[in-house]
Protein backbone atom coordinates (compact mmCIF):
# COMPACT_ATOMS: atom_id res chain seq x y z
CA UNK A 1 0.00 0.00 0.00
CA UNK A 2 2.92 2.34 0.66
CA UNK A 3 3.72 2.47 -3.04
CA UNK A 4 0.14 3.15 -3.93
CA UNK A 5 0.13 6.16 -1.60
CA UNK A 6 3.30 7.45 -3.26
CA UNK A 7 1.68 7.07 -6.66
CA UNK A 8 -1.53 8.70 -5.49
CA UNK A 9 0.49 11.69 -4.28
CA UNK A 10 2.22 12.04 -7.63
CA UNK A 11 -1.11 11.99 -9.45
CA UNK A 12 -2.71 14.43 -7.02
CA UNK A 13 0.23 16.80 -7.42
CA UNK A 14 0.15 16.61 -11.19
CA UNK A 15 -3.58 17.00 -11.74
CA UNK A 16 -4.78 18.59 -8.53
CA UNK A 17 -7.16 15.65 -8.08
CA UNK A 18 -7.29 11.95 -8.92
CA UNK A 19 -8.65 11.48 -12.43
CA UNK A 20 -10.37 8.18 -13.05
CA UNK A 21 -8.19 7.11 -15.96
CA UNK A 22 -5.07 7.61 -13.82
CA UNK A 23 -6.48 5.38 -11.08
CA UNK A 24 -7.40 2.79 -13.69
CA UNK A 25 -3.82 2.58 -14.93
CA UNK A 26 -2.60 2.54 -11.35
CA UNK A 27 -4.87 -0.45 -10.66
CA UNK A 28 -3.46 -2.16 -13.74
CA UNK A 29 0.13 -1.38 -12.69
CA UNK A 30 -0.29 -2.79 -9.19
CA UNK A 31 -2.56 -5.65 -10.22
CA UNK A 32 -5.21 -4.45 -7.75
CA UNK A 33 -8.93 -4.00 -8.25
CA UNK A 34 -9.98 -0.42 -9.00
CA UNK A 35 -12.37 -0.54 -6.02
CA UNK A 36 -9.42 -1.17 -3.71
CA UNK A 37 -7.42 1.78 -5.10
CA UNK A 38 -10.52 3.95 -4.76
CA UNK A 39 -10.96 2.70 -1.21
CA UNK A 40 -7.49 3.95 -0.28
CA UNK A 41 -7.82 7.19 -2.24
CA UNK A 42 -11.20 8.11 -0.78
CA UNK A 43 -10.07 7.35 2.78
CA UNK A 44 -7.72 10.33 2.88
CA UNK A 45 -9.30 13.73 2.78
CA UNK A 46 -6.20 15.29 1.19
CA UNK A 47 -6.83 13.28 -1.95
CA UNK A 48 -9.61 14.52 -4.12
CA UNK A 49 -11.52 11.83 -5.99
CA UNK A 50 -14.19 14.18 -7.26
CA UNK A 51 -14.08 17.19 -9.58
CA UNK A 52 -11.10 19.41 -8.95
CA UNK A 53 -11.48 22.71 -7.12
CA UNK A 54 -8.83 25.30 -7.93
CA UNK A 55 -7.83 25.60 -4.31
CA UNK A 56 -8.60 23.79 -1.20
CA UNK A 57 -8.49 24.81 2.38
CA UNK A 58 -8.51 22.13 4.98
CA UNK A 59 -9.00 22.64 8.68
CA UNK A 60 -8.08 19.80 10.99
CA UNK A 61 -11.01 19.03 13.28
CA UNK A 62 -9.56 16.40 15.52
CA UNK A 63 -9.59 16.83 19.32
CA UNK A 64 -6.37 18.74 19.78
CA UNK A 65 -7.16 21.27 17.05
CA UNK A 66 -10.75 21.68 18.26
CA UNK A 67 -9.50 22.34 21.75
CA UNK A 68 -7.40 25.11 20.25
CA UNK A 69 -10.20 26.77 18.33
CA UNK A 70 -10.34 24.86 15.02
CA UNK A 71 -14.14 25.06 14.82
CA UNK A 72 -14.12 28.86 15.19
CA UNK A 73 -11.53 29.03 12.44
CA UNK A 74 -13.56 26.71 10.22
CA UNK A 75 -16.66 28.87 10.66
CA UNK A 76 -14.68 32.03 10.02
CA UNK A 77 -13.52 30.54 6.71
CA UNK A 78 -17.11 29.64 5.89
CA UNK A 79 -18.27 33.18 6.50
CA UNK A 80 -15.39 34.98 4.81
CA UNK A 81 -15.48 32.76 1.73
CA UNK A 82 -19.23 32.36 1.57
CA UNK A 83 -18.95 28.61 0.94
CA UNK A 84 -20.18 25.66 2.94
CA UNK A 85 -18.04 22.76 3.97
CA UNK A 86 -17.40 20.18 1.23
CA UNK A 87 -19.44 22.14 -1.29
CA UNK A 88 -18.69 21.40 -4.93
CA UNK A 89 -19.40 24.94 -6.07
CA UNK A 90 -16.83 27.61 -6.73
CA UNK A 91 -13.06 27.58 -6.96
CA UNK A 92 -12.36 26.87 -3.33
CA UNK A 93 -13.29 23.78 -1.45
CA UNK A 94 -13.38 23.97 2.30
CA UNK A 95 -12.71 20.67 4.04
CA UNK A 96 -12.71 19.25 7.50
CA UNK A 97 -9.55 17.20 7.90
CA UNK A 98 -8.80 14.20 10.05
CA UNK A 99 -5.75 14.32 12.29
CA UNK A 100 -2.67 15.62 10.47
CA UNK A 101 -0.26 14.44 13.14
CA UNK A 102 0.72 17.97 14.18
CA UNK A 103 -1.30 18.12 17.37
CA UNK A 104 1.50 20.00 19.15
CA UNK A 105 1.08 22.84 16.66
CA UNK A 106 -2.72 22.93 16.81
CA UNK A 107 -4.83 24.25 15.23
CA UNK A 108 -3.59 23.26 11.78
CA UNK A 109 -4.81 24.58 8.43
CA UNK A 110 -3.69 23.18 5.07
CA UNK A 111 -3.98 25.35 1.98
CA UNK A 112 -3.14 23.76 -1.37
CA UNK A 113 -0.80 21.34 0.36
CA UNK A 114 1.01 23.93 2.50
CA UNK A 115 0.70 23.59 6.26
CA UNK A 116 -0.07 26.55 8.53
CA UNK A 117 0.30 25.86 12.21
CA UNK A 118 -1.01 27.54 15.37
CA UNK A 119 -3.46 29.50 13.25
CA UNK A 120 -5.32 32.39 14.93
CA UNK A 121 -8.60 33.98 13.86
CA UNK A 122 -6.80 37.19 12.93
CA UNK A 123 -4.66 35.28 10.36
CA UNK A 124 -7.64 34.16 8.35
CA UNK A 125 -7.82 37.06 5.92
CA UNK A 126 -4.14 36.70 5.06
CA UNK A 127 -4.57 32.98 4.50
CA UNK A 128 -7.49 33.51 2.16
CA UNK A 129 -5.32 35.81 0.05
CA UNK A 130 -3.20 32.78 -0.80
CA UNK A 131 -6.12 31.57 -2.85
CA UNK A 132 -6.85 34.78 -4.70
Partner 1 sequence: MPKAIIDGREIEFEEGETILEAALRNGINIPHLCFNKRLGVKGRCRQCIVEADGRIVASCTTRLREGMHIITDNEKIREYRKINLDLLKSRINTSQILEDEEILEYLEEEGLFEEKLLSLPIDNSSPAIVRNPNICILCGRCVAMCNEQTVGAINYAYRSINTVIIPAFMDEINNTVCSTCGQCTLVCPTGAIREKEDIDRVMEALNDKDKHVIIQTAPSIRASLGELFGLPPGTLVTGKMVTALRLLGFDMVFDTDLGADLTTFEEAHELWHRINNNGVLPMTTSCCPAWIKFMEHFYPDLAPHVSTCKSPHEMFGAIAKSYYARLRGIDPSRIVVVSAMPCTAKKFEAQRQELINDGYRNVDYVLTTREIARMIKKKGIDFNSLEESEFDKPLGISSGAGAIYGATGGVTESVLRTLVWIAGEELGKIEYREVRGMEGVREAEIRIKDKNIKICIVHGLGNARKIMEKVRNKQAEYHFIEVMACPGGCIGGGGQPKSNDINILRKRAMALYTQDKKLKIRKAHENPIVRRIYDEFLEKPLSEKAHKYLHTSYIDRAPKI
Footprint on this chain of partner 1 (rule: CB under 8 A): 20-21, 23-25, 28, 32-39, 42-45, 49, 98
Q: Which residue number, 10 or 42, has a Cβ lying nearer to partner 1?
A: 42
Q: For the sheet containing 92-97, what is the strand order?
A: 92-97, 55-60, 109-111, 114-116
Find the shortest distance in angstroms from Cβ 35 to partner 1: 4
Find the shortest distance in angstroms from Cβ 124 to partner 1: 26
Find the shortest distance in angstroms from Cβ 18 to partner 1: 10
Amino acid sequence: MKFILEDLWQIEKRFGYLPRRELESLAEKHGKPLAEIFSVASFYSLFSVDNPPKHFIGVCTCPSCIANGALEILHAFEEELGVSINSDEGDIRLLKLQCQGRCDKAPVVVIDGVYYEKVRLENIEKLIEKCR
